[in-house]
C-alpha cells in the first residue's frame, strides 16, 4: 500500500510539473529528468547545467528525489505513457536497453561518429549505451559500489587501521560499538541494502561466484553455501547499524560518517561527493577503501543520459547535450565533483583527488584483469524484474523477516520467478 501511494504521488507530481515546463522546453532548451538531489549530486549537476547554459541552451530541471533512481523511473514511465517524455533522462544499465528496445530513444549515431565515441568509451559502457548498433545514450561517468567510507579521526582515536579482511572489519565494528560509536552508517532502503550486498557477496563469492550468481543467475551459486555466508555477514552488519536506520536517505547516512557519529558507510563513490561538498579532504578527514576482500574487483554502474525520441531525428539541443557530456574537459570537471570517474578512457587523472585517482586506477586494472562486473544493486547485472526480486529478498532478510538459510531458498525462488 505504501509503495502504491508513493507511486501515485509521484505520478501526480510528474504530470503537474510537466504542465509547467512545456513552454521552457518549447523555447529550445532541454528538460532533464534525474535523481541527483543530494548536496554533492546537485553540485555535480550544476557543472552540466552551467556548461549548457554557456552554450545558450536552456535547462528545465525535473528532479525526482530517491537514491538509486527507482522513483525517477516511476515518474518516467508515467511521462512516457502520457506521451510527454522528457528530453533527456538519467538512466542505468538494463533500463537503458529496455527503453531502447521499446523504440523510445533517439539515435545518437551521428554525434557518436563525430566525437569518436566508439574509440574512447570503454566496452563495458558501450554494452549499455549502444543497442543493436545504435548509440542511444551518453555515458556521464563510472561509479562503483564496493567502497567503504570512513571517518579518519574516529578510526585513529580508536586505534583502528584500514580493515583488509572481513575479520579485521568485524573487529573494527566491535571496537567502535564498545566505544559507543555507531559502527555502520546505513539507510534502510532496499537499494541501499542491495548496494552493501554487492560488496559483501563479492567478498564471499569471489569474482567467479559473483558473476555466476548475479549475471548468469546460476541457481547452484544463488542457493549455495557461499550465498548463505554472505547473508550471515549481512546479519552481522545489521547488528552494527543504529536504531534509526529504517528509511534513512543515503546522504544522511554519509553525514553520520562526516560528523563522526558513525565509523563506516558501505556505499558507492557518490558518497565522496557528500564529503567534498562538506569541505572534507580524503586521507585527512575521511578514508576510502574497497570493501575488505574485494580490493581487485570493481562492481560498476554508469550514469547515462538517454535522449528520448521527440518525434523525428535527435534535436540540436539533445545533440549538444550529448556532445557536452562526453567532452574531455566536462568529464574531468563533473566527475571530480561527483565522486565518479570518467566515462572515457583518455581523460587525465590530474584534477582528481586521491580517492578519484584510486577509482580510475582500480577501474583500469579491473577491466584488464577480467575483474570488472556490472553492479547487481544498480541495474548493471540484470533487468529490473530480476534486480527487484533480489532487492526484496536482501531487504526482507536484513529486516529480520527470515534467517540466512531461508533467504538463500527465497533468493533462488524469487530469481527464477522473475526471469
Nearest alpha carbon to residue 18 among 93, 100, 84: 84
d(C-alpha 403, C-alpha 388), whole Å:
20
The nearer residue to ligand GAL, 343 or 412, going by C-beta atoms, is 343
Phi, psi of 374 (to 5 degrees): -65, 140
Q: Compute the least distance from the CB of residue 94 to ligand GAL, in Å.
A: 13
| Distance of closest approach, residue 199 Cβ to ligand GAL, in angstroms | 15
CB 146 within 8 A of CB 205: no
CA–CA gap between residue 407 and residue 195 (Å, rounded): 17
- Residue closer to ligand GAL, measured from CB, 229 or 303: 303
Residue 212 DSSP code: I
Nearer to ligand GAL, 292 or 379 (CB): 379
Asked if 70 is part of the footprint of ligand GAL (rule: CB under 6 A), the reply reads no
Is 290 a residue that touches ligand GAL (CB under 6 A)? no
Query: Minimal distance in Å, beta carbon 110 to ligand GAL?
Result: 27
* Residues 177-236 contacting ligand GAL, CB under 6 A: none
8-state DSSP, 388: H
Q: Nearer Cβ to ligand GAL, position 100 or 142?
A: 142
Contact window for ligand GAL (CB under 6 A) among 65-73, 147-155, 256-264, 278-286: 65-73
Q: How far apart, in whole angstroms, are the C-alpha atoms of residue 35 and residue 31?
A: 13
- When asked if residue 40 is in the footprint of ligand GAL (CB under 6 A), the reply is no
Of 97 and 227, CB closest to ligand GAL: 97
Q: Are residues 354 and 282 in contact, defined by beta-carbon separation less than 8 angstroms?
A: yes
Contacts of 343 (CB under 8 A, 6+ apart): 121, 122, 125, 139, 140, 141, 142, 302, 326, 331
Q: 10 Å Cβ neighbour count for 25?
A: 18
Q: Does 387 bind ligand GAL (CB under 6 A)?
A: no
Secondary structure (3-state) at 406:
helix
Is 305 among the residues that bind ligand GAL (CB under 6 A)?
no
Q: What's the min distance (Å) between Cβ of 386 and ligand GAL?
A: 17
**Three-class SS of residue 148?**
strand
Q: Which lies closer to ligand GAL via its Cβ, residue 73 or residue 212?
A: 73
Stretch that binds ligand GAL, among 46-54, 61-69, 150-158, 167-175 (CB under 6 A): 61-69
Q: How far is the CB of 325 from ligand GAL (least distance, A)?
A: 14
Q: Are 202 and 295 in contact (CB under 8 A)?
A: no
Q: What does each C-alpha distance from 74 to 8, 274, 363, 390 come to in angstroms?
A: 9, 26, 31, 19
Task: For the segment 114-143, give every residue that binds ligand GAL (CB under 6 A).
Answer: 143
Q: By C-beta, is 228 or 378 nearer to ligand GAL?
A: 378
Cβ at position 219, least distance to ligand GAL in Å: 27
Chain residues that interact with ligand GAL, rule: CB under 6 A: 35-36, 41, 67-69, 92, 143, 250, 270, 301, 303, 378
Amino acid at each position: 500500500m505504501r509503495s502504491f501511494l508513493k507511486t501515485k504521488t509521484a505520478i501526480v507530481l510528474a504530470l503537474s510539473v510537466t504542465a509547467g515546463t512545456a513552454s521552457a522546453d518549447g523555447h529550445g532548451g532541454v528538460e532533464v529528468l534525474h535523481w541527483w538531489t543530494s548536496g554533492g549530486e546537485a553540485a555535480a549537476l550544476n557543472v552540466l547545467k552551467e556548461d549548457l547554459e554557456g552554450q545558450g541552451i536552456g535547462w528545465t530541471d525535473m528532479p525526482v528525489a530517491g537514491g538509486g533512481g527507482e522513483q525517477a523511473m516511476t515518474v518516467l514511465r508515467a511521462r512516457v505513457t502520457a506521451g510527454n517524455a522528457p528530453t533527456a533522462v538519467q538512466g542505468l544499465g538494463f533500463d537503458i536497453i529496455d527503453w531502447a528496445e521499446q523504440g523510445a530513444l533517439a539515435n545518437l549515431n551521428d554525434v557518436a561518429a563525430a566525437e569518436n565515441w566508439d574509440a574512447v568509451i570503454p566496452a563495458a559502457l558501450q554494452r549499455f549505451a549502444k543497442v543493436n548498433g545504435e548509440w542511444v545514450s551518453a555515458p556521464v561517468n563510472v561509479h562503483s559500489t564496493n567502497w567503504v567510507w570512513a571517518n579518519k579521526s574516529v578510526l585513529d582515536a580508536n586505534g583502528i587501521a584500514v580493515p583488509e579482511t572481513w575479520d579485521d572489519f568485524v573487529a573494527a565494528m566491535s571496537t567502535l560499538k564498545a566505544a559507543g560509536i555507531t559502527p555502520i552508517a546505513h539507510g534502510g532502503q532496499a537499494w541501499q541494502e542491495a548496494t552493501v550486498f554487492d560488496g559483501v557477496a563479492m567478498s564471499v563469492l569471489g569474482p567467479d561466484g559473483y558473476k555466476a550468481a548475479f549475471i548468469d543467475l546460476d541457481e547452484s551459486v544463488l542457493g549455495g553455501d557461499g550465498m548463505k555466508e554472505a547473508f550471515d555477514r549481512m546479519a552481522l552488519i545489521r547488528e552494527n547499524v543504529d536504531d534509526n536506520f529504517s528509511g534513512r536517505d543515503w546522504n544522511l547516512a554519509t553525514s553520520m560518517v562526516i560528523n563522526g557519529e558513525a565509523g563506516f558507510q558501505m556505499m558507492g563513490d557518490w558518497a565522496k561527493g557528500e564529503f567534498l561538498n562538506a569541505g572534507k579532504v580524503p586521507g585527512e578527514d575521511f578514508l576510502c577503501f574497497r570493501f575488505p576482500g574485494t580490493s581487485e574487483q570493481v562492481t560498476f554502474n554508469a550514469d547515462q543520459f538517454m535522449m528520448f525520441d521527440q518525434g523525428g531525428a535527435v534535436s540540436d539541443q539533445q545533440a549538444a547535450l550529448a556532445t557536452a557530456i562526453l567532452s574531455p574537459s566536462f568529464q574531468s570537471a563533473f566527475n571530480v565533483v561527483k565522486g565518479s570517474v570518467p566515462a572515457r578512457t583518455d581523460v587525465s587523472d590530474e584534477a582528481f583527488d586521491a580517492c578519484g585517482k584510486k577509482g580510475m586506477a582500480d577501474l583500469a586494472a579491473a577491466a584488464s584483469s577480467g575483474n570488472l562486473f556490472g553492479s547487481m544493486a544498480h541495474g548493471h547485472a540484470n533487468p529490473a524484474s530480476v534486480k527487484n526480486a533480489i532487492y526484496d529478498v536482501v531487504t526482507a532478510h536484513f529486516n529480520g523477516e527470515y534467517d540466512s538459510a531461508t533467504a538463500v531458498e527465497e533468493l533462488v525462488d524469487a530469481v527464477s520467478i522473475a526471469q
